[in-house]
Each structure stands twice: as C-alpha cells, then as structure tokens.
Structure 1
Amino acid sequence: MNLSLQPAIVSARYETFVDQAGAEHIDLTGGFGYQELTVVHAVDQQAKRMGLSNRVLISAPLLNFCSTLAKVLPKPLDMSYVCNSGDEAFEGALKLCKGLKPQGQTLVYITGGDYGSLTYGRCLSHPEQYPEVVEFLGMRLIGIQNIQQLKSISRVEDCFAVCYTPLIIDAEGRTRTLDAALVKALSQFAKQAKAPVICMDSRTALGRTGKTFGFELYGVVPDIEVLGDGLGGNVIPIGTYTCSAKLAHGVYGSSSPAKHGSTTAGNPLACAAALAVLDYLHHRDIPSRCLAHSQILRTALQDYQPTVAGSWVSIVIPDGIDSATLQADLYARGVYVNAPIQRILNISAPIIARPESIQKAATIIHEVLQHDQSNFIAKIA
C-alpha cells in the first residue's frame, strides 16, 4: 500500500490514530505509542520555561537526561551524545569509530538488521541497493550471519567498527533474535580488531525485546549503545549514542558532548520528553508488558504459524492471499501494519497499547485472512 495516497493522521492516543477521513486505525507497527500524558505534560511544562537553547550553553534538561541515562545503562556506558533521532545517532557512532581508527576501511555487521535510513544505515540495511554509496564512502562492508563467516574474515586490523541489531529479519521474512554465541563471538572479534562494537538498539530498546535494552538478551555490553525511536515518547524525536568516557576522549578529548551533533540536537524539549520516558519505564514493568502484548497476538493468530521475538509476532500469510494487497485490506478494516515481507506479516503492539485494542486488532487480522482465503478457495473450487 502506498501510504502517500492515504489520508493524513490528524489525532492519536495510545495505539490508535484517526485519519483525515475520520476513521480510526489500530497501529501494529510497534514503537512507543501516542500521546502518553506524562510525556506530553513534561514537554508542555518545559516549553513554558524554554523551548530551545544554543549549543554553547548546556541546558538543565540535557544535563539531567545524560546523567539519568548514565545511571540506567550498565558501566562503562556513561558518556552520551544526543542527536535528533536514532538514525542520526547511528551515523554519529560510526563517525566516532572512524575517528578512533581513521585508516580503517572495513565495517563488519550482522545482516538482516534495520540500521536506519541515513547514509551508513541504508548501506548496512540494504547494501545491494547502494553499491555506489558504499564505494563513495570508501568502505569495505562484510555482512555475516554465523560464526563461521566471522572466523573467515581476513585483514582484521582494517576493521574500524562492528555493528549489530538485537533483532533481525531472517531469510524467510520473520523477525527473530540472534544466536547468542554469535554476539559473543562478535565481541571477541572486535577486541582482536581493536574496533568498537555498536549495538543499533533504536527500534528494539525500552522493553520491546523483553529486556529494557536489546543487548541484554545476549549478556554482552556493547562499546556503543544507540537509542532512538520511542525514546522521545513519540512526542519529540531524540536519539543518543552512548559509550565510555575513555572511548569518547580518544576522539573528542575533553570537549563537551553537547557540541557534537546538529543544531537542535539535545534541545530542552526533546530531553524533557526522554526524561519522562525513562521515568515511565522505571515505574512500570515495560518488558513484561511488551511480552504480554505479543502473547495476545500469538494466541489469537495461532492458526498462522506465529513466532515471537520480544514484542514482535511473525505470522505466515496463507496461500492464495495476495500479500501485496494485504496491508491495504487491513488498513481498510482499521488496522495499520507494515508491508509483508515475502509471505510473512510482522506485527508489534506499541509499548503503551491497551490489551483490548490489541485483541481487537488481532481479531480483525484473523477475519481478513479467513475471508481472503475463503474467497480464494471458492474461486478454485
């Protein structure tokens, strides 16, 4: 479905949005959700005090956010660089890695992940689509899927960064977790190459894997943790890349983290939103809530071979159903999903979604799949 042809969203709350035609839609593309009042209130109160500040004078919300994040993340992750999004933060993290090893040309990464939509992110997410960009950047990309491929890499000393996302899309199109042994082997490889490990956790952190941070699934703390997506509570965009002070000082020296980003990055409004989100997570068992969300979807859609990866549920689209039109069919019935990948539909409830709405959306999906399959059977009978 070409969403550019659909009416614009005019209002939203929790997991539900209303389009310009006045129709309600339940969003099953994941994320934080819409209009959590504690986040909205925090931004509103900050706007009444000060909306933006320059990058010379560090605002109190920026300082509070960075110090709070340092307490939430495990050691030695205590130096945060605040950006406008997780995608932008991933680019910043790679810039830091390149600063540590300017002559390095090789970037090793686990394939199947979503690394964002900016320059480096696109190259890692879909390298086959951007060979000219990879060549322009002077990079040698090595995508791996298993330990054997990792062990076969030569020119280890040329590697300047190692990247992974806590969840990936496999060859079939399902969302799944990684092999824990592979993540640990990746960390050992990085130490040998003297290159930082970047966890692109923008779309998987904040409880959506069943852990507060995605890397916690694998028991290895990355050298750089990238956050974004729901960090601003879907009210104000914000992203961060966080590393150790030792790592940061190797490139930036004692310069303030506030000076490494775009003009509006780390603005008081965004930091106020992120502080409210971290407080929200602190006072609620969000990982358990996300797992409960996926269990509702899994149970309701058990006829379609569901598999679960944190808050994500992947189901098989039955034979005879046109996967190219399924997204539009569901949208017409009031459920918004990402486009299917091959014969797989990946769905995920937002963090602040209400259980009754998730159940309603699952029922609609089941009804649409049954209806379309019945029509197919009738045609060939």
Structure 2
Amino acid sequence: MSITDPIRVLVVDDSASVRQTLVAILEEAPDIAVLGTAADPYAAARRIQEDMPDVIILDLEMPRMDGLTFLRKIMAQKPIPVIICSTLTERGSHMLFDVLEAGAVDVIPKPRVDTRQFLLESSVRVCDAVRAAAGARLRGGKRPSRLVEAKLTADVMIPPPIPGRVVTQTDRVVCIGVSTGGTESLRDVLEVLPVDCPGIVIVQHMPEHFTAAFAKRLNGLCAIAVKEAEDGDAVLPGRALIAPGARHMLLQRNGGRYCVAIKDGPLVSRHRPSVDVLFRSAAQCAGGNALGIIMTGMGDDGANGLLEMRKAGAATLAQDEESCVVFGMPKEAIERGAAERIVSLDRLHGEIVRFGMTPRSPAITGRRVASIA
C-alpha cells in the first residue's frame, strides 16, 4: 500500500444493518475503500484468502466464532490491523483489555443512527480509527501515516492563553495526552510510578463507558491511585485522573492546588475528550508548574496545546518514534516546536519522578529539540 492508495477495509459483523451503516460511512471518505463485508469470521477468513485488506473492522459477538477468537487467530497467523467495533457496555468492558492484549489497534462503539449528530461523530470516529490502524506499528512492522481533515480547535471550549501572563508557584502537575496504542503504553508508565509522584491528569482517546473500567484496571495494577475523573476531583500527589470518554477535561486552579472540570462540548481536534483542551487549560492555570507529555496516537490532537504549555513555561516531552504504536501525535508536536525533548517510553516514568523532585530544570535524558521563538 502506497501513501496515495486508499485504505482497503474488510467489515466483519453479523448484523446486516451495522454492515450497511459502516459501509456507508467508509465510502464517504476519499482515502478509504471497502474491500468487502462478511457476516461471520469463517466468511471473513475466505475473503482474506482471496484479497488481503489493510484494516479489518471486527464485531465481538457473532455466531459460530466470536470476534476475540478470530482476532487471536489473525494475529497468530498473519497480523493485520484490527479495529473492534462493539456495542459492549461498561458491564462487558473487561473485554476491552482482552482484545487490546490480543493485538487489536483500537476499540470503537458501533455507530447509531438515532440522531444526526451522533451519526456524524461516529463517522469521524470510525474513519479516523481506520486511518490510525493503517498507520500502526504491528510487531515491528511500519505503515505510512495519513492526513486528516480540518477540525475544531480548543477555542470552542476555552479562550486562548494570554501572552506574558505569569503563574505563581504551586504544586506540580503532570498532563498526559495519548491515543492509539496508549492503553498498554500508559500501563507501562503508571505501574512503575511511586506513590509520592506528582498528581497526573490524562486524556486517553477512548469510547464512552470504557474509561471507568480502564481506570479501575490500572488502579489494581499500580501503586498510585487511578480513577476516572469526576467534576471537581482534586489533583493529588500519587493519583492519576483519566478523562471520561465523550467528555472534555480541563485543569483548574484552586489556590495552590488543582482540580479538574468535566464538561460537555463539541469534538475538538476531532476528539472528545481532547488533549488540546486539557493542555490549553494547563498552560493557563499551571504554566511552569506543569509537565506536558504527548504519547502514541494518530493525528495532531495535543500538538497545539503542548506548544501553548511550552510557551507558558511548562516542561514538555514527546514520546519517540521507536516506542510509539502510531507516531502521529508526537511527530506533529515535535514539528511544531512544542516538545523540549524526545524521550523513549521506558524513560517517561523517570521523567515524571524527576519533575516532581526538582526545580523547573529536569534532568536531561532525552533528545533536546530546538527552542521556540
């Protein structure tokens, strides 16, 4: 597949109406082509033997063979980027971790046609997930990244920063933005942090209903406390707050401490929650008291916000290409001059610890990027 070829997608779902909806969504995208559809994994396997897709959209609950079993077979025989498209609610969201550990690139909710707005946002989510999957690194493989269409900025949620505004010293706070490939990458970082690390706020692009289970899972694995953020939650040392799916999270200042605000709003940088929204709020209320980290993910959400954080005096880091599943978000941040340094995944936890222990000049362990004007 060259950079100019359309991404060829195979849709596997036992519901004819879901297949029809997904095909209609995908065919609207000029850079995506539907290779075919299949009602169950056996039909999908025959289709793959005839013509190899670039990406598979796969349901979990199907007759004859469930999607998780089929996913494991695909990854064991010939890895192909797979997106799970499921109606699983929070009660079944433990399956999220099974499919991600089995090799799925992303999990998205099935599109509904009950409202025009929901269908429009589903269209954005489905097509962007396909683009991210096509650019994902699978077991050492590498695929070309692709561009996405124009999008709303953080201006719709929070005004731009005021140049020259000085933020007085407060508690330290760490802001992390991550997307495709981020669930396991976040686990790698958070599970080795000590309980006295700075407070952490995280935007992980993830569907509604899954973030609570994701936070609960991490809370059971990590020494620090991890929870899905609620409006007004305090940002405390040894605690990580994860933005709830389908809602934006903003950092707010309460004296010398911080809390979060959870708000509805439109998609920003094609996402809700948006990293740009979190990072802009951190630039405004935390300034040099913050560390901004942008990790693996497709597109450019967070690149502008990280630049605003850097201009406000925050320390800023980008995950390196070698350790990213998808290098899109860090690459955009680096190219815009938003990242002071480029750091590998296995060093990010050390950067967080050092940031909490030292003044504004953290130890240099990554590649330094040119300064901003």
Looking at secondary structure, tell me which structure has more helix per residue: 1
TM-score by shorter chain over 0.5:
no
Bigger Rg, structure 1 or 2: 1
- Which has the bigger relative contact order, CA under 8 A and spacing at least 6? 1
